[in-house]
Structure 1
Amino acid sequence: MPIVYLLRHAQSSANVSGILAGQDNSVELSKYGFKQAENLVNTIEMIKPTKIFSSPLLRCIQTIDPYIQSRRKIKTLTDSDLIEMDYGQWSGRKLSALQKEKNWKKVQKNPAQFTFPKGESFINLHARVRKFQVKLYGEKGPILVVSHGDVIKMFLASVAGLELNSFQKFVIEPGSISAISIEKSSSKIISTNNLNFFPIKQLSIKDSLGGGNTLRRKFFGAIK
Protein backbone atom coordinates (compact mmCIF):
# COMPACT_ATOMS: atom_id res chain seq x y z
CA MET A 1 0.00 0.00 0.00
CA PRO A 2 1.52 3.38 -0.95
CA ILE A 3 1.82 5.98 1.78
CA VAL A 4 0.23 9.34 0.97
CA TYR A 5 1.25 12.37 3.01
CA LEU A 6 -1.32 15.17 3.18
CA LEU A 7 0.37 18.50 3.85
CA ARG A 8 -1.70 21.54 4.64
CA HIS A 9 -0.10 24.72 3.32
CA ALA A 10 2.00 26.67 5.80
CA GLN A 11 0.54 29.59 7.73
CA SER A 12 -0.94 32.21 5.39
CA SER A 13 -1.68 35.90 5.82
CA ALA A 14 -5.38 34.95 5.92
CA ASN A 15 -4.72 32.50 8.77
CA VAL A 16 -3.09 35.30 10.74
CA SER A 17 -5.94 37.73 10.01
CA GLY A 18 -8.68 35.18 10.72
CA ILE A 19 -10.08 35.54 7.21
CA LEU A 20 -11.76 32.78 5.19
CA ALA A 21 -9.53 32.88 2.10
CA GLY A 22 -11.28 30.30 -0.07
CA GLN A 23 -10.00 30.26 -3.64
CA ASP A 24 -8.38 33.71 -3.49
CA ASN A 25 -5.10 33.18 -5.33
CA SER A 26 -3.56 36.42 -4.04
CA VAL A 27 -3.26 35.10 -0.49
CA GLU A 28 0.40 34.49 0.34
CA LEU A 29 2.18 32.82 3.22
CA SER A 30 2.84 34.87 6.33
CA LYS A 31 6.38 35.61 7.51
CA TYR A 32 6.11 32.61 9.82
CA GLY A 33 4.60 30.56 6.99
CA PHE A 34 7.65 31.15 4.80
CA LYS A 35 9.80 29.96 7.70
CA GLN A 36 7.63 26.86 8.01
CA ALA A 37 8.06 26.19 4.29
CA GLU A 38 11.85 26.38 4.63
CA ASN A 39 11.78 24.02 7.61
CA LEU A 40 9.60 21.59 5.67
CA VAL A 41 12.43 20.99 3.17
CA ASN A 42 14.16 18.59 5.57
CA THR A 43 10.85 17.01 6.52
CA ILE A 44 9.92 16.31 2.91
CA GLU A 45 13.45 15.07 2.24
CA MET A 46 12.81 12.35 4.84
CA ILE A 47 9.60 11.40 3.04
CA LYS A 48 11.39 11.16 -0.33
CA PRO A 49 8.20 11.53 -2.40
CA THR A 50 8.10 9.95 -5.83
CA LYS A 51 5.33 12.36 -6.86
CA ILE A 52 4.04 15.68 -5.52
CA PHE A 53 0.48 16.84 -6.18
CA SER A 54 -0.67 20.31 -5.15
CA SER A 55 -3.57 22.69 -5.16
CA PRO A 56 -2.87 25.38 -7.76
CA LEU A 57 -3.35 28.19 -5.21
CA LEU A 58 -0.35 30.38 -4.41
CA ARG A 59 -0.14 29.54 -0.71
CA CYS A 60 0.28 25.84 -1.52
CA ILE A 61 2.83 26.50 -4.26
CA GLN A 62 4.81 28.73 -1.89
CA THR A 63 4.76 25.96 0.72
CA ILE A 64 6.33 23.36 -1.55
CA ASP A 65 8.56 25.70 -3.58
CA PRO A 66 11.62 25.64 -1.26
CA TYR A 67 11.73 21.84 -1.54
CA ILE A 68 11.24 21.93 -5.32
CA GLN A 69 14.05 24.48 -5.65
CA SER A 70 16.37 22.21 -3.68
CA ARG A 71 15.33 19.05 -5.56
CA ARG A 72 15.16 20.04 -9.20
CA LYS A 73 14.56 16.49 -10.43
CA ILE A 74 10.97 16.43 -9.17
CA LYS A 75 8.12 18.66 -10.29
CA THR A 76 4.84 19.61 -8.68
CA LEU A 77 1.72 18.38 -10.46
CA THR A 78 -1.12 20.82 -9.80
CA ASP A 79 -4.62 19.39 -9.64
CA SER A 80 -7.81 21.46 -9.48
CA ASP A 81 -9.50 18.77 -7.37
CA LEU A 82 -7.18 19.80 -4.52
CA ILE A 83 -8.15 23.48 -4.54
CA GLU A 84 -9.76 24.99 -1.44
CA MET A 85 -13.54 25.18 -1.24
CA ASP A 86 -15.32 27.95 -3.07
CA TYR A 87 -16.93 29.72 -0.14
CA GLY A 88 -18.76 32.11 -2.44
CA GLN A 89 -20.00 35.22 -0.65
CA TRP A 90 -18.38 34.04 2.57
CA SER A 91 -14.91 34.31 1.02
CA GLY A 92 -12.73 37.15 2.26
CA ARG A 93 -14.78 37.66 5.43
CA LYS A 94 -13.64 37.44 9.04
CA LEU A 95 -14.34 34.11 10.70
CA SER A 96 -15.42 35.99 13.83
CA ALA A 97 -18.20 37.63 11.79
CA LEU A 98 -19.15 34.42 9.99
CA GLN A 99 -19.72 32.67 13.31
CA LYS A 100 -22.69 34.99 13.81
CA GLU A 101 -24.32 33.88 10.54
CA LYS A 102 -27.50 31.85 10.98
CA ASN A 103 -26.05 29.06 8.81
CA TRP A 104 -22.81 28.74 10.79
CA LYS A 105 -24.18 25.87 12.89
CA LYS A 106 -25.29 24.07 9.75
CA VAL A 107 -21.76 24.32 8.34
CA GLN A 108 -20.40 22.77 11.54
CA LYS A 109 -23.10 20.20 12.32
CA ASN A 110 -24.83 19.36 9.03
CA PRO A 111 -22.54 20.41 6.16
CA ALA A 112 -24.05 17.82 3.81
CA GLN A 113 -27.14 20.04 3.58
CA PHE A 114 -25.29 23.30 2.95
CA THR A 115 -24.14 25.19 -0.14
CA PHE A 116 -22.23 28.45 0.32
CA PRO A 117 -24.08 31.45 -1.19
CA LYS A 118 -22.88 31.65 -4.81
CA GLY A 119 -20.28 29.05 -3.89
CA GLU A 120 -19.68 25.34 -3.55
CA SER A 121 -21.52 22.63 -1.64
CA PHE A 122 -19.81 20.20 0.70
CA ILE A 123 -21.27 17.41 -1.41
CA ASN A 124 -19.30 18.74 -4.36
CA LEU A 125 -16.14 19.00 -2.25
CA HIS A 126 -16.60 15.39 -1.20
CA ALA A 127 -17.07 14.32 -4.82
CA ARG A 128 -13.87 15.94 -6.07
CA VAL A 129 -11.87 14.63 -3.12
CA ARG A 130 -13.12 11.13 -3.93
CA LYS A 131 -12.24 11.73 -7.59
CA PHE A 132 -8.67 12.58 -6.64
CA GLN A 133 -8.49 9.64 -4.25
CA VAL A 134 -9.33 7.27 -7.11
CA LYS A 135 -6.49 8.80 -9.15
CA LEU A 136 -4.06 7.53 -6.52
CA TYR A 137 -5.11 3.88 -6.77
CA GLY A 138 -2.22 1.91 -8.21
CA GLU A 139 0.34 4.66 -7.63
CA LYS A 140 3.61 3.76 -5.98
CA GLY A 141 4.51 5.86 -2.98
CA PRO A 142 5.52 7.78 -1.10
CA ILE A 143 3.27 10.52 -2.47
CA LEU A 144 3.01 14.07 -1.15
CA VAL A 145 -0.25 16.01 -1.51
CA VAL A 146 -0.25 19.74 -0.69
CA SER A 147 -3.71 21.15 -0.10
CA HIS A 148 -6.05 22.97 2.30
CA GLY A 149 -7.71 22.36 5.64
CA ASP A 150 -11.23 21.44 4.54
CA VAL A 151 -9.94 19.38 1.61
CA ILE A 152 -7.64 17.33 3.83
CA LYS A 153 -10.35 16.86 6.47
CA MET A 154 -12.71 15.58 3.78
CA PHE A 155 -9.96 13.29 2.46
CA LEU A 156 -9.47 11.76 5.91
CA ALA A 157 -13.21 11.29 6.43
CA SER A 158 -13.47 9.56 3.07
CA VAL A 159 -10.56 7.22 3.81
CA ALA A 160 -12.06 6.41 7.22
CA GLY A 161 -15.42 5.61 5.63
CA LEU A 162 -17.16 8.29 7.69
CA GLU A 163 -20.28 10.11 6.58
CA LEU A 164 -19.77 13.56 5.13
CA ASN A 165 -21.10 15.32 8.25
CA SER A 166 -18.27 13.83 10.30
CA PHE A 167 -15.44 15.52 8.42
CA GLN A 168 -15.53 18.53 10.77
CA LYS A 169 -14.34 16.28 13.59
CA PHE A 170 -10.80 16.45 12.21
CA VAL A 171 -8.42 19.30 13.06
CA ILE A 172 -5.76 20.17 10.48
CA GLU A 173 -3.35 22.98 11.28
CA PRO A 174 -1.26 24.98 8.79
CA GLY A 175 2.00 23.17 8.04
CA SER A 176 0.78 19.88 9.51
CA ILE A 177 1.16 16.50 7.85
CA SER A 178 -1.33 13.63 7.93
CA ALA A 179 -0.46 10.19 6.61
CA ILE A 180 -2.66 7.54 5.05
CA SER A 181 -2.17 4.30 3.19
CA ILE A 182 -4.34 4.12 0.14
CA GLU A 183 -5.57 1.22 -1.93
CA LYS A 184 -8.81 0.50 -3.74
CA SER A 185 -9.73 -2.38 -1.46
CA SER A 186 -8.34 -1.05 1.80
CA SER A 187 -7.26 2.46 2.80
CA LYS A 188 -6.19 3.41 6.31
CA ILE A 189 -5.45 6.53 8.35
CA ILE A 190 -2.01 6.31 9.96
CA SER A 191 -1.69 9.72 11.60
CA THR A 192 -3.26 13.17 11.45
CA ASN A 193 -2.31 16.80 12.07
CA ASN A 194 1.34 16.17 12.87
CA LEU A 195 3.73 19.07 13.34
CA ASN A 196 6.33 16.43 14.21
CA PHE A 197 7.52 14.14 11.46
CA PHE A 198 8.26 10.44 11.64
CA PRO A 199 9.15 8.22 8.67
CA ILE A 200 6.61 5.51 7.88
CA LYS A 201 7.36 2.26 6.15
CA GLN A 202 5.19 0.76 3.45
CA LEU A 203 2.25 -1.22 4.79
CA SER A 204 1.63 -4.90 4.29
CA ILE A 205 -1.43 -6.98 5.16
CA LYS A 206 0.10 -8.10 8.47
CA ASP A 207 0.42 -4.47 9.57
CA SER A 208 -3.36 -4.25 9.93
CA LEU A 209 -3.55 -7.28 12.22
CA GLY A 210 -3.55 -7.03 15.99
CA GLY A 211 -3.61 -3.26 15.95
CA GLY A 212 -0.76 -2.87 13.48
CA ASN A 213 2.88 -1.91 13.71
CA THR A 214 3.16 0.73 11.05
CA LEU A 215 5.40 3.42 12.53
CA ARG A 216 9.10 3.69 13.11
CA ARG A 217 8.74 5.58 16.35
CA LYS A 218 11.54 8.07 15.99
CA PHE A 219 10.55 11.68 16.28
CA PHE A 220 12.53 14.56 14.87
CA GLY A 221 11.08 17.46 16.85
CA ALA A 222 8.47 20.07 16.11
CA ILE A 223 8.81 22.48 13.23
CA LYS A 224 9.79 25.82 14.69
Structure 2
Amino acid sequence: MATVILVRHGRSSANTAGVLAGRTPGVHLDETGVTQAIAVGDRLAGVRLSAAVTSPLERCKETAKEITSRQAQSLRAGTDKQLSECDYGEWQGRTIKELAKEKLWKTVQAQPSAVTFPGGESMRAMQDRAVAAIRRHDARVTAEHGDGAVWLAVSHGDLIKSILADALGTHLDLFQRIHVDPASVSIIRYGESRPFVLGTNTHAGDLSWLTPPAKTRRRRSGDAEVGGGAGPGAQTGPQTGRS
Protein backbone atom coordinates (compact mmCIF):
# COMPACT_ATOMS: atom_id res chain seq x y z
CA MET A 1 0.00 0.00 0.00
CA ALA A 2 1.30 3.40 -0.99
CA THR A 3 1.07 6.60 1.07
CA VAL A 4 -0.72 9.70 -0.17
CA ILE A 5 0.25 13.21 0.90
CA LEU A 6 -2.79 15.47 0.62
CA VAL A 7 -1.96 19.16 0.22
CA ARG A 8 -4.50 21.93 0.09
CA HIS A 9 -3.57 24.74 -2.30
CA GLY A 10 -1.88 27.80 -0.84
CA ARG A 11 -3.85 30.92 0.01
CA SER A 12 -5.64 32.35 -3.01
CA SER A 13 -6.86 35.79 -3.95
CA ALA A 14 -10.42 34.59 -3.26
CA ASN A 15 -9.45 33.38 0.23
CA THR A 16 -8.08 36.83 0.99
CA ALA A 17 -11.23 38.52 -0.34
CA GLY A 18 -13.54 36.21 1.64
CA VAL A 19 -15.18 34.88 -1.54
CA LEU A 20 -16.26 31.29 -2.21
CA ALA A 21 -14.30 30.77 -5.41
CA GLY A 22 -15.57 27.29 -6.21
CA ARG A 23 -14.66 26.46 -9.80
CA THR A 24 -14.32 30.07 -10.95
CA PRO A 25 -11.46 30.23 -13.48
CA GLY A 26 -8.57 32.60 -13.02
CA VAL A 27 -8.29 32.35 -9.23
CA HIS A 28 -4.56 32.26 -8.47
CA LEU A 29 -2.36 32.04 -5.42
CA ASP A 30 -1.73 35.39 -3.79
CA GLU A 31 1.75 36.40 -2.65
CA THR A 32 1.35 34.62 0.68
CA GLY A 33 -0.01 31.54 -1.10
CA VAL A 34 3.08 31.33 -3.31
CA THR A 35 5.30 31.57 -0.24
CA GLN A 36 3.26 28.84 1.43
CA ALA A 37 3.53 26.56 -1.61
CA ILE A 38 7.30 27.04 -1.74
CA ALA A 39 7.52 26.14 1.95
CA VAL A 40 5.57 22.93 1.36
CA GLY A 41 7.85 22.11 -1.55
CA ASP A 42 10.90 22.58 0.66
CA ARG A 43 9.31 20.44 3.34
CA LEU A 44 8.60 17.63 0.89
CA ALA A 45 11.96 17.87 -0.89
CA GLY A 46 13.29 15.07 1.31
CA VAL A 47 10.37 12.79 0.41
CA ARG A 48 10.81 10.70 -2.73
CA LEU A 49 7.50 11.25 -4.53
CA SER A 50 6.60 8.57 -7.06
CA ALA A 51 3.69 10.47 -8.60
CA ALA A 52 1.70 13.67 -8.31
CA VAL A 53 -1.85 14.59 -9.26
CA THR A 54 -3.72 17.86 -8.86
CA SER A 55 -7.08 19.50 -9.27
CA PRO A 56 -7.20 21.28 -12.65
CA LEU A 57 -7.90 24.67 -11.03
CA GLU A 58 -5.08 27.21 -11.24
CA ARG A 59 -4.45 27.62 -7.53
CA CYS A 60 -3.87 23.88 -7.15
CA LYS A 61 -1.70 23.54 -10.25
CA GLU A 62 0.44 26.45 -9.06
CA THR A 63 0.85 24.81 -5.66
CA ALA A 64 1.71 21.45 -7.21
CA LYS A 65 4.32 23.05 -9.48
CA GLU A 66 6.15 24.62 -6.53
CA ILE A 67 6.24 21.22 -4.81
CA THR A 68 7.26 19.04 -7.74
CA SER A 69 9.94 21.49 -8.90
CA ARG A 70 11.78 20.87 -5.63
CA GLN A 71 11.98 17.11 -6.05
CA ALA A 72 15.41 15.62 -6.75
CA GLN A 73 14.01 13.70 -9.72
CA SER A 74 11.93 15.10 -12.56
CA LEU A 75 8.24 14.97 -11.63
CA ARG A 76 5.24 16.54 -13.30
CA ALA A 77 1.77 16.55 -11.80
CA GLY A 78 -1.10 15.17 -13.81
CA THR A 79 -4.58 16.65 -13.43
CA ASP A 80 -7.80 14.94 -12.41
CA LYS A 81 -11.12 16.77 -12.55
CA GLN A 82 -12.46 14.39 -9.89
CA LEU A 83 -10.20 16.27 -7.44
CA SER A 84 -11.62 19.63 -8.49
CA GLU A 85 -13.43 21.90 -6.06
CA CYS A 86 -17.00 21.17 -5.02
CA ASP A 87 -19.54 22.53 -7.48
CA TYR A 88 -21.14 25.15 -5.26
CA GLY A 89 -23.59 26.18 -7.97
CA GLU A 90 -25.30 29.48 -7.22
CA TRP A 91 -23.14 29.95 -4.13
CA GLN A 92 -20.02 30.26 -6.25
CA GLY A 93 -18.54 33.75 -6.39
CA ARG A 94 -20.49 35.06 -3.39
CA THR A 95 -18.90 36.26 -0.17
CA ILE A 96 -18.73 33.98 2.86
CA LYS A 97 -20.25 36.78 4.93
CA GLU A 98 -23.29 36.84 2.67
CA LEU A 99 -23.61 33.04 2.47
CA ALA A 100 -23.56 32.71 6.25
CA LYS A 101 -26.99 34.41 6.27
CA GLU A 102 -28.54 31.76 4.01
CA LYS A 103 -30.83 29.15 5.58
CA LEU A 104 -28.80 26.37 3.92
CA TRP A 105 -25.67 27.53 5.75
CA LYS A 106 -26.83 25.93 9.01
CA THR A 107 -27.39 22.63 7.25
CA VAL A 108 -23.92 22.82 5.70
CA GLN A 109 -22.56 23.15 9.22
CA ALA A 110 -24.71 20.54 10.99
CA GLN A 111 -25.79 18.00 8.37
CA PRO A 112 -23.66 18.30 5.22
CA SER A 113 -24.80 14.88 3.98
CA ALA A 114 -28.23 16.45 3.36
CA VAL A 115 -26.86 19.41 1.37
CA THR A 116 -27.15 19.92 -2.37
CA PHE A 117 -25.98 23.36 -3.40
CA PRO A 118 -28.58 25.16 -5.54
CA GLY A 119 -27.66 24.56 -9.15
CA GLY A 120 -24.63 22.56 -8.03
CA GLU A 121 -23.40 19.37 -6.41
CA SER A 122 -24.34 17.53 -3.25
CA MET A 123 -21.67 17.22 -0.58
CA ARG A 124 -22.23 13.46 -0.56
CA ALA A 125 -21.45 13.31 -4.31
CA MET A 126 -18.37 15.46 -3.71
CA GLN A 127 -17.06 13.02 -1.11
CA ASP A 128 -17.87 9.96 -3.20
CA ARG A 129 -15.97 11.19 -6.25
CA ALA A 130 -13.02 12.48 -4.21
CA VAL A 131 -12.54 9.27 -2.23
CA ALA A 132 -12.95 7.14 -5.36
CA ALA A 133 -10.32 9.22 -7.19
CA ILE A 134 -7.80 9.02 -4.33
CA ARG A 135 -8.24 5.26 -3.96
CA ARG A 136 -7.94 4.77 -7.73
CA HIS A 137 -4.70 6.74 -7.93
CA ASP A 138 -3.37 5.02 -4.82
CA ALA A 139 -3.97 1.58 -6.33
CA ARG A 140 -2.23 2.67 -9.54
CA VAL A 141 0.79 4.09 -7.73
CA THR A 142 1.09 0.96 -5.59
CA ALA A 143 0.91 -1.28 -8.67
CA GLU A 144 3.51 0.77 -10.54
CA HIS A 145 5.92 1.70 -7.74
CA GLY A 146 5.37 -0.76 -4.90
CA ASP A 147 4.08 -0.69 -1.33
CA GLY A 148 6.63 1.85 -0.12
CA ALA A 149 5.70 4.47 -2.69
CA VAL A 150 4.66 7.97 -1.62
CA TRP A 151 2.61 10.22 -3.86
CA LEU A 152 1.12 13.70 -3.84
CA ALA A 153 -2.44 14.92 -4.34
CA VAL A 154 -3.16 18.67 -4.36
CA SER A 155 -6.80 19.61 -3.90
CA HIS A 156 -9.25 21.80 -1.97
CA GLY A 157 -10.31 22.20 1.63
CA ASP A 158 -13.73 20.54 1.61
CA LEU A 159 -12.49 17.69 -0.59
CA ILE A 160 -9.54 16.91 1.66
CA LYS A 161 -11.77 17.12 4.74
CA SER A 162 -14.17 14.63 3.17
CA ILE A 163 -11.33 12.26 2.25
CA LEU A 164 -9.97 12.43 5.80
CA ALA A 165 -13.44 11.83 7.24
CA ASP A 166 -13.79 8.69 5.12
CA ALA A 167 -10.35 7.45 6.16
CA LEU A 168 -11.16 8.06 9.82
CA GLY A 169 -14.48 6.23 9.50
CA THR A 170 -16.26 9.45 10.38
CA HIS A 171 -19.70 10.25 8.97
CA LEU A 172 -19.81 13.16 6.55
CA ASP A 173 -22.09 14.99 9.00
CA LEU A 174 -19.09 15.26 11.34
CA PHE A 175 -16.54 16.36 8.77
CA GLN A 176 -16.81 20.00 9.77
CA ARG A 177 -14.88 19.00 12.90
CA ILE A 178 -11.83 18.49 10.68
CA HIS A 179 -9.77 21.57 9.79
CA VAL A 180 -7.61 21.87 6.67
CA ASP A 181 -5.69 25.13 6.24
CA PRO A 182 -4.23 26.49 3.01
CA ALA A 183 -0.95 24.72 2.17
CA SER A 184 -1.41 22.21 4.99
CA VAL A 185 -0.23 18.60 4.70
CA SER A 186 -2.35 15.58 5.63
CA ILE A 187 -1.23 11.98 5.17
CA ILE A 188 -3.12 8.72 4.61
CA ARG A 189 -1.91 5.19 4.05
CA TYR A 190 -4.55 2.84 2.65
CA GLY A 191 -4.20 -0.68 4.01
CA GLU A 192 -5.75 -3.96 3.00
CA SER A 193 -8.21 -3.82 5.88
CA ARG A 194 -8.36 -0.11 6.77
CA PRO A 195 -6.79 3.29 6.08
CA PHE A 196 -4.23 4.73 8.48
CA VAL A 197 -4.32 8.50 9.01
CA LEU A 198 -0.71 9.52 9.69
CA GLY A 199 -1.22 13.26 9.90
CA THR A 200 -3.80 16.02 9.48
CA ASN A 201 -3.46 19.75 8.82
CA THR A 202 0.28 19.85 9.53
CA HIS A 203 2.43 22.88 8.71
CA ALA A 204 5.93 21.94 9.83
CA GLY A 205 8.15 19.02 10.65
CA ASP A 206 10.44 16.56 8.90
CA LEU A 207 8.61 14.16 6.57
CA SER A 208 11.62 12.30 5.13
CA TRP A 209 10.66 9.27 7.24
CA LEU A 210 7.82 8.64 4.78
CA THR A 211 10.35 7.32 2.26
CA PRO A 212 11.83 4.10 3.66
CA PRO A 213 15.42 3.10 2.74
CA ALA A 214 15.29 0.95 -0.38
CA LYS A 215 17.13 -2.00 1.13
CA THR A 216 14.76 -2.20 4.12
CA ARG A 217 11.53 -1.63 2.24
CA ARG A 218 8.93 -4.25 3.16
CA ARG A 219 5.33 -4.98 2.38
CA ARG A 220 3.00 -3.75 5.08
CA SER A 221 0.34 -6.22 6.13
CA GLY A 222 -2.30 -3.58 6.89
CA ASP A 223 -2.59 -4.56 10.54
CA ALA A 224 -2.41 -1.98 13.32
CA GLU A 225 0.31 -2.74 15.86
CA VAL A 226 -1.04 -3.39 19.35
CA GLY A 227 0.43 -0.85 21.74
CA GLY A 228 1.19 1.68 19.04
CA GLY A 229 4.49 0.41 17.65
CA ALA A 230 7.96 1.90 17.62
CA GLY A 231 7.32 4.75 15.19
CA PRO A 232 8.82 5.76 11.83
CA GLY A 233 12.02 4.06 10.77
CA ALA A 234 11.64 1.05 13.07
CA GLN A 235 11.83 -2.43 11.62
CA THR A 236 9.10 -3.74 13.89
CA GLY A 237 5.41 -3.11 13.27
CA PRO A 238 2.63 -4.18 10.96
CA GLN A 239 4.87 -5.47 8.17
CA THR A 240 5.57 -8.77 6.54
CA GLY A 241 8.88 -9.63 4.96
CA ARG A 242 9.28 -9.79 1.24
CA SER A 243 12.46 -10.38 -0.68
TM-score, reference length from structure 1: 0.89
SS at match of 1:36: helix
* Residues 69, 75 of structure 2: 8 Å contact kept: no
Q: One-letter code of the match for 2:115?
A: F
Whether 2:227 is the aligned partner of 1:210: answer yes
SS in 1 for 2:19: coil
Partner of 2:102: 101
Taking only the aligned residue pairs, the percentage that are identical comes to 34
Aligned AA for 2:20?
L
What secondary structure does 1:50 align onto?
A: strand
**Displacement of 1:143 after TM fit?**
0.8
Q: CA RMSD in A?
A: 1.9
Query: In terms of Rg, which structure is larger?
Result: 2
Q: How big is the shift at 1:170? A: 0.5
Q: Which residue of 2 aligns with 1:177?
A: 185
- Map Cα deviations across residues 8-41 of structure 1 (whole Å, 9 max, x no partner): 0011111111111111121000111111122222
Q: Distance in 2 between the 1:144 and 1:66 partners?
A: 12
- Residue identity in the other structure for 1:8: R
Give the equivalent residue in structure 1 for 2:78.
77
Partner of 2:241: none
Q: What do residues 123-153 of structure 1 show as CA deviations (whole Å, max 9, x unaligned)?
A: 1112102211331136242111100000000
Deviation at 1:99, TM superposition (A): 0.8
Match of 2:27 in 1: 27
Change (3 A) 1:207 1:123: closer
Tell me which residue corresponds to 1:148: 156
SS at match of 1:59: helix
Alignment match, 2:203: 195
2: CA distance, partners of 1:129 / 1:171: 17
Greater CA deviation, 193-202 or 144-153?
193-202
Q: More displaced, 60-69 or 10-19?
A: 60-69
Distance 1:14 1:184, change over 3 A: farther
Partner of 2:121: 120
Q: Which runs of 4+ in 1 moved over 4 A?
A: none
What code does the residue aligned with 2:129 have? Answer: R
Unaligned runs of 5+ in 2: 213-218, 234-243
**Equivalent in the alignment of 1:137:** 139
Separation in structure 1 between the aligned mates of residue 45 and residue 135 of structure 2, nearest angstrom: 26
Unaligned segments of structure 1, at least 5 residues:
217-224
Give the Cα separation in 1 of the matches to 2:227 and 2:220: 13
Distance 2:139 2:102 in 1: 40
One-letter amino acid of the structure 1 residue matched with residue 154 of structure 2: V
Query: How far 1:70 sits from its partner (Å)?
Result: 4.6
Q: Which amino acid aligns with 1:118?
A: G
Match of 2:8 in 1: 8
For these two proteins, the number of residue pairs brought into alignment is 216
Using the size of structure 2 for normalisation, the TM-score is 0.82
